[in-house]
Structure 1
């Protein structure tokens, strides 16, 4: 993953371990941490809930902000595709 301006970047890899169509995606990162992305249908649309195992290198808050940024960019991408 890389910042658009090239100022920051890091390797990010994993393996999908379970995919439930329209419900959830489970994957294991290269360092064996588990991530679960749930897709929950609501009256207002689909709510995306992401649960991840924190790593030890960065603070929990930094990691939360990083994952939130990824979700926010994904939201913008999906909304732009539907117009």
Structure 2
């Protein structure tokens, strides 16, 4: 097995860990925040939230020219604390949720792939994480 560089993104969301967990794991919410830029949409999301359960998020450009499915299988789940999964290409992703009073820290670590620079990957994953933060903190977002 080749050694892959580990990359990390993180943020503090000013909502409870219960709300963060719900918005991170429920497909109806995932479709609203899981994009890296305004030129993309996430029209479909499925999530079988259990160990060995699978998830799939369709990512599509708004112009319809590009589309791909981001798929993986859960390795470990501790509700409101940890998600660890393997994505289709064999890379491992770990997401840690830490309650800090009325805020929640999210630390997401992933193994880098070879098609893009580490900086590009970190920027993309960070953009998605920032979209998640904005979605959670938006007072107009329905639970």
- With the shorter chain as reference, the TM-score category is 0.7 to 0.9
- Structure 1 residue 14: Cα displacement: 0.8
TM-score of the pair, normalised by structure 2: 0.51
The number of aligned residues is 83
> How far did residue 42 of structure 1 move?
1.6
**Larger relative contact order (C-alpha < 8 A, sep ≥ 6)?**
2
TM alignment of 1:8-47, pairs within 5 A: 9-43=67-101, 45-47=103-105
Over 3 Å counting, the alpha-carbon distance change for 1:3 and 1:65 in structure 2 is: farther
What secondary structure is seen at the aligned counterpart in 2 of 1:56? coil
Q: Secondary structure at the match of 1:78?
A: helix
Once residues 8 and 72 of structure 1 are traced to their aligned partners in structure 2, the CA distance between those partners, rounded to angstroms, is 22
The residue number in structure 1 matching 2:46 is: none
Give yes or no for the alignment of 1:49 onto 2:107: yes
What is the rounded CA distance, in whole Å, between the counterparts of 1:21 and 1:47 in structure 2?
15
- Runs (5+) with no aligned partner, structure 1: none
Task: Give the TM-score of the pair, scaled to structure 1.
Answer: 0.84
Aligned to 2:123: 65
SS at match of 1:17: strand
